[in-house]
């Protein structure tokens, strides 16, 4: 293949990739006659899990002894910090403003909050409130693999970093501190605003959905992303669905 043809092929591939990326971008529009889905999510086969870590450094800030870090918390048959979301929605209602600029604090060698939500493409600001070095390291979760999104050293109290977060394939991030192995958090990075964090009774509602048929998925930081079937949303109607891990 000569250089000219090779260059044309590469250019065509690049255009194709760009077009796919643009097509995948969520578009905010006015929704007329939107419907909703609601229901409950059961723990199903999920079981509670946690891991004990020894606090081996900075005891005057981090505390002493051990720290129990939950991977999966279940109460009354409900998985905490689980999310229901609609997969690959191209357009619809606007993201809430508060999801576009999200803050994460590192205080007493813990992330606050330990679970949070932000919009894909939004900005994450991480603050170090401790008088010790933290190195925030966030990973996009893609099945069993993970990809670094942010990896920044914050040596002293008051250090702050802001990063635009863009997921490629995953719907969430694991957050760790490279300086303290007992610091862990999860963040759901919403690909569109059609999601709901399930409540303490397992209930959820997603509203203002353009009429149509949608793929439904469950997400949990440790349990991963689970295909949960399809749902049809009628104009002005409510569809009831029950889901399970």
CA gap 159, 125 in Å, rounded: 10
Closest by Cα among 100, 101, 47 to 73: 47
> Does pLDDT of 121 surpass 70?
yes
Average pLDDT over residues 183-201: 98
pLDDT of residue 19: 31
Tokens for 75, please give them. Answer: 């109460």
> Does pLDDT of 144 surpass 60?
yes
> Does pLDDT of 4 surpass 90?
no
pLDDT of residue 52: 98
CA gap 86, 89 in Å, rounded: 7
> Would you say 86 and 215 are in contact if contact means Cβ atoms under 8 Å apart?
yes
Give Cβ neighbours of residue 230 (< 8 Å, ≥ 6 apart).
213, 214, 215, 216
Average pLDDT over residues 40-54: 97
Average pLDDT over residues 166-178: 96
Q: Model confidence at 24, in pLDDT bands (50, 70, 90)? A: low
> Does pLDDT of 16 surpass 50?
no
pLDDT of residue 7: 42
CA gap 49, 56 in Å, rounded: 22
What pLDDT digit, counting tens, does each position of 219-238 carry?
A: 999 999 999 999 999 999 99
Q: Model confidence at 25, in pLDDT bands (50, 70, 90)? A: confident
Residue with tokens 């394939």: 169
- Cβ count within 10 A of residue 244: 16
Bridge partner residues of 233 (DSSP): 212
Q: What is the reported pTM? A: 0.88
Closest by Cα among 214, 136, 139, 126 to 170: 139
Average pLDDT over residues 125-137: 98
Closest by Cα among 230, 225, 203 to 42: 203
Q: How far, CA to CA in Å, does 114 sit from each of 30, 38, 81, 93, 219?
A: 33, 26, 10, 27, 16
Q: Model confidence at 2, in pLDDT bands (50, 70, 90)? A: very low
Mean pLDDT, the chain, integer: 91
> Does pLDDT of 5 surpass 80?
no
Domains of the chain with bracketed CATH: 27-244 (2.60.40.420)
Average pLDDT over residues 106-117: 98
Q: Model confidence at 13, in pLDDT bands (50, 70, 90)? A: very low
Q: The sheet that has 160-164: what strands, in order across it?
A: 110-112, 101-107, 123-128, 160-164
Give Cβ neighbours of residue 60 (< 8 Å, ≥ 6 apart).
none
Lowest mean pLDDT of 18-32, 55-69, 115-129, 161-175, name the range: 18-32
Whether the upstream peptide bond of residue 113 has omega within 30° of 0, thus cis, is: yes
What pLDDT digit, counting tens, does each position of 70-104 carry?
A: 999 999 999 999 999 999 999 999 999 999 999 99
């Amino acid at each position: 293949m000569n250089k000219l043809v090779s260059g044309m092929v590469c250019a065509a591939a690049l255009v194709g990739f760009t077009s796919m990326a643009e097509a995948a971008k969520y578009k905010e529009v006015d929704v007329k006659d939107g419907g909703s889905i609601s229901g409950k999510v059961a723990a199903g086969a999920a079981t509670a899990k946690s891991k004990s870590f020894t606090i081996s450094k900075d005891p005057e800030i981090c505390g002493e002894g051990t720290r129990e870090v939950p991977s999966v918390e279940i109460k009354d048959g409900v998985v905490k910090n689980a999310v229901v979301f609609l997969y690959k929605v191209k357009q619809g209602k606007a993201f809430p403003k508060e999801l576009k600029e999200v803050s994460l604090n590192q205080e007493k060698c813990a992330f606050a909050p330990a679970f949070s939500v932000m919009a894909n493409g939004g900005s994450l600001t991480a603050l170090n409130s401790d008088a010790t070095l933290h190195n925030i390291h966030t990973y996009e979760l893609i099945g069993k693999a993970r990809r670094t999104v942010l990896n920044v050293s914050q040596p002293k109290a008051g250090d702050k970093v802001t990063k635009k977060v863009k997921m490629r394939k995953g719907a969430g991030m694991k957050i760790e501190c490279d300086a303290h192995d007992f610091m862990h958090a999860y963040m759901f990075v919403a690909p569109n605003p059609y999601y709901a964090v399930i409540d303490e009774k397992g209930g959820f509602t997603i509203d203002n959905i353009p009429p149509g048929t949608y793929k439904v998925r469950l997400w949990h930081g440790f349990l991963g992303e689970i295909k949960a079937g399809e749902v049809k949303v009628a104009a002005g109607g409510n569809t009831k669905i029950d889901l399970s891990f």
